Amino acid sequence: MHLIVPFAGVMSEAGRAAVRELALPHLARVLDGMGPQWLAAPAGADPEEPDLSLTPPHEHVRALAWGLTVADGQVPWAALEAARLGLPGAGAGPDVGSDVGSIKAWGRLTPAHWQLGTEQITMLAPQLLALDSAASAAFLEAVRPLFETEGFELHATEAGHWLASHPVLADLPCASLDRVIGRNVDLWLPADPRARLVRRLQNEVQMFLHTHPLNEDREQRGALPVNSFWLDGCGVAPASQGAAALASSAAVIEDDRLRAPALNEDWFAWSRAFAQLDEGPIAQALQAAGEGHPVKLSLCGERQACTLTPRPLTAWQRLRRAWRPPPMAAVERFLEAL
């Protein structure tokens, strides 16, 4: 079992204050009895500014756990999803070194609401749109001609986002959706010249949907309009990696209960969710490790991630752990380093 916990570490002052109030006895024991391995920055990211990497630590850890080669902002999540769904042309990409112009590459498009402020444009959490799969598919059909005239193929998914295929997506670095939510969109728009087509489509979608009947109906109901999209997860899943990644994913559990409260900066809900996580999955991982099972626990923040694995203990260490509870201060230091 490999348990991944995103957003266990936070950067805001209010979030750090919440960390200092946490009581996580099972995580304290995990830190006392398991060995840490800190994550290196993804290829292409600036190690001096890890919070600005396009691929956040939890996605980096997930990709490595699935056996994927990781370059910053170029993890082919969309291609893997297309292969899992059995979409035409998915899962058949050749290995690295082939002519990228002949590869059917994929990207993930998430319908979004970009909120215009006095100084910046902020992307709100897509969950606030409350789009079900039918509503998402209706918006896809509305904008489909804009994409198809540029050679894109679009597919709706039950998850509410869209999968797109186009040669320009083969190796296009894009910031993960989790990097952009609640932040200035301009800071995360791709600077790569190959992204010009995507940026133009974002502008065209914004103008097209501004007065579209679908949005007029939503606004009459008091719902946020869909006025743009975000692209991420681009690339091609080489044949040698795609099948293995989908198979490896079964052994990886990603518990994202901290994600929404962290992105919403609801630190009371975040603290409560962390306490539940400590009593549940973290306690179970600790028990499994004590019984000799192969367990990995990866805790991820906005800058860094650390994977903890069982390490052999001497008889004296086992006795000391049985009689002396681990210090809670170690948890605070650990989470602040993420």
**Contact (CB, 8 A) for 273 and 281:** no
Q: What is the pLDDT of residue 322?
A: 54
Confidence of residue 329 (pLDDT cuts 50, 70, 90): confident
| Whole-angstrom distance, CA of residue 106 vs CA of residue 166 | 7
H or E segment at 290? helix 283-290
Confidence of residue 323 (pLDDT cuts 50, 70, 90): low
H or E segment at 300? strand 296-300
Which tens digit of pLDDT belongs to each residue from 249-290? 778 999 999 999 999 999 999 999 999 999 999 999 999 988
- Each domain of the chain, given as residue ranges in start order, spans 1-68+239-338, 77-236
Q: What is the pLDDT of residue 318?
A: 58
305, pLDDT greater than 50: yes
Q: Are strands 305-310 and 296-300 parallel, antiparallel or unpaired?
A: antiparallel
Q: Taking Cα atoms as reference points, which of 120, 89, 116 lies closest to residue 105?
A: 89
176, pLDDT greater than 70: yes
Q: Summarize the confidence of residues 180-184 as an average pLDDT.
A: 95
Q: What is the pLDDT of residue 250?
A: 75
Q: Summarize the confidence of residues 328-334 as an average pLDDT.
A: 89
- Residue 91, CA distances (Å) to 12, 83, 169, 233, 248 in order: 40, 5, 15, 15, 15
| Ordered DSSP codes for 190-227 | --SGGGHHHHHHHHHHHHHHTT-HHHHHHHHTTPPP--
Give 238 or 12, the one with higher predicted confidence.
12
Confidence of residue 312 (pLDDT cuts 50, 70, 90): low
Q: What is the pLDDT of residue 291?
A: 87
Confidence of residue 190 (pLDDT cuts 50, 70, 90): confident
97, pLDDT greater than 60: no
Q: What is the pLDDT of residue 98?
A: 42
Query: Residue 164: beta bridge partners?
Result: 107, 154
| Whole-angstrom distance, CA of residue 310 vs CA of residue 10 | 25
What's the one-letter identity of residue 282? I
What is the share, in percent, of the chain residues with pLDDT greater than 90? Answer: 74
253: number of Cβ within 10 Å: 13
Instruction: Specify the length of the chain in residues.
Output: 338
Which tens digit of pLDDT belongs to each residue from 33-61? 888 999 999 999 999 999 999 999 999 99
297, pLDDT greater than 60: yes
pTM to 2 decimals? 0.91
- Return the structure tokens found at 49: 């500014």
Q: Which of 70-79, 102-111, 195-204 has the lowest mean pLDDT?
A: 102-111
| Whole-angstrom distance, CA of residue 281 vs CA of residue 264 | 23
**Contact (CB, 8 A) for 166 and 153:** yes
**Contact (CB, 8 A) for 128 and 186:** no
Which tens digit of pLDDT belongs to each residue from 63-94? 999 988 889 999 999 999 998 888 887 764 44
User: Which sign, positive or negative, has the C-alpha torsion 276, 54, 69, 30?
Assistant: negative
Q: Summarize the confidence of residues 291-304 as an average pLDDT.
A: 94
Which tens digit of pLDDT belongs to each residue from 204-232? 999 999 999 999 999 999 999 999 999 99
Q: What is the pLDDT of residue 193?
A: 84
* Average of per-residue pLDDT values in the chain: 89
Give 188 or 242, the one with higher predicted confidence.
188
For 25-53, letters b (16+ CB in 10 Å) and e give bbbbbbbbbbeeeebebbeebeeeebeeb
Confidence of residue 138 (pLDDT cuts 50, 70, 90): very high
Q: What is the pLDDT of residue 22?
A: 95
